[in-house]
Amino acid sequence: STDDDQDHCDLFRQWLESSTVSTELGKRGFHRELTTTVELRPNVLHDISVLLLYRWPNGVYVDPYQLASLSAHNDWQILLDSSIDLEVPAHKTLGFLSYVYLSNAGSTSSLLKATIPVHGRYHEPSLAGETFTTVHIKPPDMLLRTGKCLDRLESYAVVDAPCTVSNSSMCPWVKINRQQEEGIIIFQVPVGDGSVVMPVCVGTLLVTIVCCVALSKCLFSLHVHTRASC
């Protein structure tokens, strides 16, 4: 009935205004976890679809096979917009998008969480001799879906995105307003020292050539004199 629809749309507008999303990067090294926590306010028992739209930079990647094996234990699902090359260095690839579908169906808590394992890519060696390079991960856009309440939402952006993780159709989603610069995650990745490229090349070739000569000498001397030792 229209009264129910009206209540639903009011609730929807309250969610748009008060819900928050926060992100946190866990673990250390090249293999991290990005935990996104969504708090829906007011906490009312009502089914809602939440979509988190991540815009990943080229300095990180997610492993689709790892995600597939984790999906059995999670209550969220992820959809990637392109195939991911797991081995290419950062400067030879582009960023990508991922859609994470959360649902509060069956959950009594107002908090929805998604923990995504992310991996740092190898970066170009630093010519200035810096030891780390910084990858900036923007927090995701939070999108809520509704079929009926699109009017009276002029101050919010409407985005077209896949309706579900099966990517069979597109739906309108409403994006929650957020300050652009807040909550950017800093991911420090170790990087090679480009300023020592000459000593490294010389040192490597020297050691390998010396080893090659020593081993060849040993092989030759034993071939000629059967009882000699190197």
Partner 1 sequence: FSYNHFSFCQTSQPFLPVPKKHVLLFTTSFLIRLVLVAYGDYQDRNMVVKFTDIDYHVFTDAARFITQGESPYNRSTYRYTPLLAWLLTSNIYLTLVFGKMLFILCDALSGVLIYKILCMQGLDCKSASKISSLWLLNPLPMGVSSRGNAESILSALVLGTLLCMEAKHLACAAVLYGLSVHMKIYPVTYALPIALALRAPEGRREEGRQKQTWKKWVTFIGSFLNYELILFVSVAGAVFFTLKGLFYYMYGWQFLHETYFYHLTRRDIRHNFSPYFYMLYLTADSRGSQWLGLAAFLPQLILLLVASWAFHRHLAFACFLNTAIFVSFNKVCTSQYFLWYLCLLPLVIPHLSLSGKRGSGLLLLWFAGQGIWLAPAYFLEFEDYNTFFLIWMAGLLFLVINCFILVQIISHYRHTPPAQRLKTE
Under the rule (CB under 8 A), what is the footprint of partner 1? 28-31, 65, 69, 83-87, 89, 91, 122, 124-125, 131-132, 188, 190-194, 196-197, 200-201, 203-205, 207-209, 211-212, 214-216, 218-220, 222-223, 226, 229-230
> How far is 174 from 192, CA to CA, in rounded Å?
43
> How far is 32 from 120, CA to CA, in rounded Å?
8
Residues in CB range of 87: below 8 A, 6 or more apart: none
> Scanning the structure block, which residue is given the tokens 């959360």?
102
Q: How many CA atoms lie within 13 A of 37 on its CB side?
A: 10
The secondary structure element, H or E, covering residue 209 is helix 197-224
* Distance of closest approach, residue 167 Cβ to partner 1, in angstroms: 18
Nearer Cβ to partner 1 (111/222):
222
Nearer Cβ to partner 1 (148/227):
227
> How far is 166 from 179, CA to CA, in rounded Å?
31
* Distance of closest approach, residue 197 Cβ to partner 1, in angstroms: 4
Q: Round to the nearest angstrom and report the end-to-end CA distance of the chain.
A: 95
Nearer Cβ to partner 1 (157/228):
228
Nearer Cβ to partner 1 (42/89):
89
* Distance of closest approach, residue 101 Cβ to partner 1, in angstroms: 23
* Distance of closest approach, residue 62 Cβ to partner 1, in angstroms: 13
